[in-house]
Structure 1
């Protein structure tokens, strides 16, 4: 379950961020998770609960926003949403595309007390 290692990285960022402030506890953690990370929201929730146990994050709500895959054609520069992992430019039918969205795992915000 690679969600545990992903959440480990998220908690490194959380710990680094909260160490710079006086915080009693974390109430909510908001993540943006790209579809290409193959991270399952339920598995992320389980990993979050495991990492937050006995920390100031324990009991916090985890909010996960899924980010769709978007690509840009290297030939005609057309940007499009990738559906069903079909990486073909709908404008010119070129298969040479670059991913511009959908690989991210971002800590968007923390709500704290």
Structure 2
């Protein structure tokens, strides 16, 4: 379950942020997760629960926002949502596609007390 290592990275960022602020409790953690991470929201929730135990994040609500996979054709510059793992431009049929969205794993926000 690679979600544990992904959540470990998220908690490294959370720990750095909390170390520089006087926070009593974290109420909500919002993350953005791109489709290409192959992270499952339920597995992320379990990893979050494990990492948050005995920390300021224990009991906090985890909000996972899925980020769709988008590409941009290097030939015709058409931007599109990638529907399958065949990276093919729907406009010109080029296979020269740049991923412009969907690889993210971002800590979007923390709501704290």
Q: State the TM-score, normalized to the length of structure 2.
A: 0.98
Query: 1:101 and 2:105 equivalent?
Result: no
- The answer as to 2:97 corresponding to 1:74 is no
Q: What TM-score results when the alignment is normalised by the length of structure 1?
A: 0.98
Which residue pairs with 1:48 in the alignment? 48
| 1:39-84 Cα deviation digits (max 9, x unpaired) | 0000000000000000000000000000000000011111100002
The answer to whether 1:29 aligns with 2:24 is no
Aligned to 2:87: 87
Moved over 2 A (4+): none
Higher mean alpha-carbon deviation, 79-88 vs 96-105, is at: 79-88
Aligned to 2:59: 59
Shift of 1:87: 1.1
5+ long unaligned stretches in structure 1: none
CA distance in 2, matches of 1:40, 1:91: 31
Q: How many angstroms apart in 1 are the aligned matches of 2:89 and 2:19? A: 45
| Aligned CA-pair RMSD | 0.5
